[in-house]
């Protein structure tokens, strides 16, 4: 066993723990069984979930036994939101999302080797339990006066909307998960985001009350945007891991645009780079920030982790082609459309003169201005200089029959989109 707790702390992956000294001794001294739960309240995991998967990867690589729980029961309830009641999804929808998330988790953990991760669904032990058994065997261990002191519960109780008994009971369900996994797998550590601290403690307390056992909980800091807002679905700013919800290109660009002030911290959390390697990038950020070497490495590593090396190569080629002098013709259709989706532009078709297209796409505000730009050598079509004002766009100018890229100067780029 390595000193994995020190590694997690150095990487900024420890926010709270129940007893740091005891937890350090446990995970640095021998194999423990650890679990993290993922509720299927959407079809995809997001960047906050990725942090937990990275923690599980570190622990599994250090020799610990990892359990990944996808909440088929807790996902039907949802933990309390800070401001309002959740919309409940159907059981059928939740079941579809459970299957989707289970598949999404698989590439991040080793499910086959000598120490395979275990995948579980809490619906398997919650569904057979009657309401009466739940109240007798679980509810009796909880005190309402303690439950209402939980931060989110207290805030909801003070709001005009209040909190339903359904969401109020969520912490009992999560506590039951820990108790079941303790009894079944000898699980003694649960990890999660710091906003889940109260729910994690519910499980710790339940195991102690029901079994007289001492177990642990550990949280990670929340990942926030530049304004300090949590990145997540409920905030409307989630970075989805599913490429259909957030394209690999958009995902890559997000990391590429990381601010200098936080890029080293992001590298510690989201990459496997060593302290020595990250130290080198830290010097580069300080000495040559204009090169953005740390951002490029971060974007490459995280995109590869989530979407694979092939997708990363495609988006890097797209970036080079769009913002440099690369061959835009080599881009596959999806990467091209993803990369140009946010570009300004306008409609165009084969047969339109370049002068007309420059006006339609907003590059020039008049025919005379368009002709001057062309004669001055300031216009490129698909990265090839174009000077003839009488040139008419051809079928082959529309990449994959969809988009022609027009650049004014070195940086201003628009998309001429075929209707």
Task: State the Cα–Cα distance between residues 333 and 341, nearest whole angstrom.
Answer: 12
Cβ within 8 Å of residue 335, ≥6 positions away: 248, 249, 314, 315, 317, 318
Q: Which helix (H) or strand (E) holds 157?
A: helix 151-158
What is the pLDDT tens value at each position of the chain, 419 positions in all? Answer: 468 999 999 999 999 999 999 999 999 989 999 999 999 988 899 999 999 999 999 999 999 999 999 999 999 988 888 778 888 889 999 999 999 999 999 999 999 989 999 999 999 999 999 999 999 999 999 999 888 888 888 888 888 889 999 999 999 999 999 999 999 999 999 999 999 999 999 999 999 999 999 999 999 999 887 667 676 555 556 789 999 999 999 999 999 999 999 999 999 999 999 999 999 999 999 999 999 999 999 999 999 999 999 999 999 988 888 887 678 888 889 999 998 998 999 999 999 999 999 999 999 999 999 999 999 999 999 999 999 999 999 999 999 999 999 999 888 999 999 97
pLDDT value, residue 78: 83
Output phi, psi for 218, to 5 deg. Answer: -145, 135
pLDDT value, residue 232: 59
Angle between helices 260-270 and 275-287 (to 10 degrees): 170
Q: Which helix (H) or strand (E) holds 348?
A: strand 345-348
pLDDT value, residue 1: 43
pLDDT value, residue 20: 94
* Closest alpha carbon to 153 in 173, 170, 140: 170
Output phi, psi for 245, to 5 deg. Answer: -95, -30
Pairing relation of β-strands 403-408 and 379-381? antiparallel
Output phi, psi for 374, to 5 deg. Answer: -70, -45
Domains and CATH numbers, the chain: 4-231 (3.40.50.620), 248-340 (1.10.240.10), 345-418 (3.10.290.10)
Q: How would you list the strands of the sheet with 16-17, edge to edge?
A: 16-17, 216-220, 187-193, 33-38, 65-70, 118-121
pLDDT value, residue 113: 87
Q: How many CA atoms lie within 13 A of 336 on its CB side?
A: 20
Task: State the Cα–Cα distance between residues 269 and 10, nearest whole angstrom.
Answer: 9
Residue ranges of alpha helices (H) inside 288-410 are 293-307, 309-323, 333-340, 354-360, 367-375
* Closest alpha carbon to 74 in 152, 171, 181: 171
Q: How would you list the strands of the sheet with 379-381, edge to edge?
A: 345-348, 412-418, 403-408, 379-381, 384-385
Q: Where are the beta strands (DSSP E) in 183-264?
A: 187-193, 216-220
Task: State the Cα–Cα distance between residues 190 and 33, nearest whole angstrom.
Answer: 9
Task: State the Cα–Cα distance between residues 200 and 192, nearest whole angstrom.
Answer: 8
Q: What is the pLDDT of residues 331-362, one digit of tens each?
A: 889 999 998 998 999 999 999 999 999 999 99
């Amino acid at each position: 066993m390595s000193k994995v707790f020190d590694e997690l702390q150095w990487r900024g992956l420890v926010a709270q723990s129940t007893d740091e000294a005891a937890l350090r001794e446990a995970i640095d001294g021998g194999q423990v069984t650890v679990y993290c739960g993922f509720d299927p309240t959407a079809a995809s995991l997001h960047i906050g979930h990725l942090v937990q998967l990275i923690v599980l990867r570190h622990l599994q690589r250090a020799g610990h036994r990892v359990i990944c729980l996808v909440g088929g029961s807790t996902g039907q309830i949802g933990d309390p939101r800070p401001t309002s009641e959740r919309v409940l999804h159907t059981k059928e929808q939740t079941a579809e999302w459970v299957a989707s998330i289970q598949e999404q988790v698989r590439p991040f953990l080793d499910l086959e080797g000598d120490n395979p991760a275990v995948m579980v669904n809490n619906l398997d032990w919650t569904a057979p339990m009657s309401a009466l058994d739940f109240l007798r065997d679980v509810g009796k261990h909880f005190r309402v006066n303690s439950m209402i002191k939980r931060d989110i519960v207290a805030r909801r109780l003070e709001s005009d909307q209040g909190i339903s008994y359904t969401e109020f009971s969520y912490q009992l369900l999560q506590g039951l998960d820990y108790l079941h996994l303790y009894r079944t797998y000898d699980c003694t550590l649960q990890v999660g985001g710091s906003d889940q601290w109260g729910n994690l403690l519910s499980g710790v307390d339940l195991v102690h009350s029901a079994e007289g056992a001492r177990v642990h909980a550990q949280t990670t800091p929340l990942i926030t945007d530049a304004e300090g807002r949590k990145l997540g679905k409920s905030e409307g700013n989630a970075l989805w891991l599913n490429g259909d919800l957030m394209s690999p290109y958009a995902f890559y660009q997000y990391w590429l645009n990381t601010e200098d002030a936080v890029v080293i911290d992001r590298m510690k959390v989201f990459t496997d780079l060593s302290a020595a390697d990250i130290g080198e990038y830290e010097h580069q950020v300080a000495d040559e920030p204009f090169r953005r070497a740390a951002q490029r490495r971060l974007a490459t590593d995280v995109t590869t982790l989530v979407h694979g090396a092939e997708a990363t190569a495609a988006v890097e080629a797209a970036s080079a082609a769009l913002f440099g002098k690369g061959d835009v013709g080599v881009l596959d259709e999806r990467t091209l459309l993803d990369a140009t989706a946010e570009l300004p532009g306008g409609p165009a078709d084969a047969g339109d003169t370049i002068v007309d297209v420059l006006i339609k796409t907003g590059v020039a505000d008049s025919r005379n201005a368009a002709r001057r730009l062309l004669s001055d050598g300031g216009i490129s079509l698909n990265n090839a200089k174009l000077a003839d004002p009488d040139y008419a766009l051809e079928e082959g100018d529309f990449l994959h029959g969809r988009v022609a890229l027009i650049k004014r100067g070195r940086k201003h780029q628009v998309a001429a989109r075929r209707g």
